[in-house]
Amino acid sequence: MRREIASKLRRAASVLRTVMLWASLALWLAIAATALIVVLAVGLAAYFAFGWLGVGAVAVFVLIVFFGKDPPTEQTGPRRKGKGLNLNDDPNPWYMQSQYRFGSGNSAAHNRWHK
C-alpha cells in the first residue's frame, strides 16, 4: 500500500515538474515576444521621427538597458547629513542630564530617599 502511494506521488511530482517547465518556457517566450514588439515599435517610431540616427540611438539605449551594469543593492557611501539642527548630536541632552547629576553627590543622601 505504501509503495503504491509513493509511486503515485512520484508520478504526480514528475507530471507537475513537467507542467511547470512548460509553463515557465511559455512565460519566457511571451515576455521575449512582448519585448521584441515593444522594441520594434519604438524603433519604427524613432525611424519616422529621426531617421536612422534615431534607430541607432534606440538600439544603443536598449543595449545599455539589457547589458549595462546593475546598480548596487547596498549603499556604497556614507549618508550625507542634512543641514540644520540635528537633535541627535548631543549624547547627553538637557532632558537627560538630571539623571546623571542626581547620583553624583552624596550617595548616602540619595539612598536615604530611594529605599
User: How far, in Å, CA of 94 to CA of 100, rounded?
Assistant: 11
* Arithmetic mean of pLDDT, 3-25: 92
The SS3 of residue 57 is: helix
Compute CA distances 82 → 35, 67, 75, 78, 87, whole Å: 42, 35, 17, 12, 11
Main-chain phi, psi angles of 69, to 5 degrees: -75, 135
Query: Tell me: the pLDDT tens digits for 17-26?
Result: 999 999 999 9
Q: Using a pLDDT cut of 70, give the percent of the chain over it.
A: 64
Query: Tell me: the pLDDT tens digits for 36-80?
Result: 999 889 889 999 998 999 889 888 988 888 888 877 777 766 665
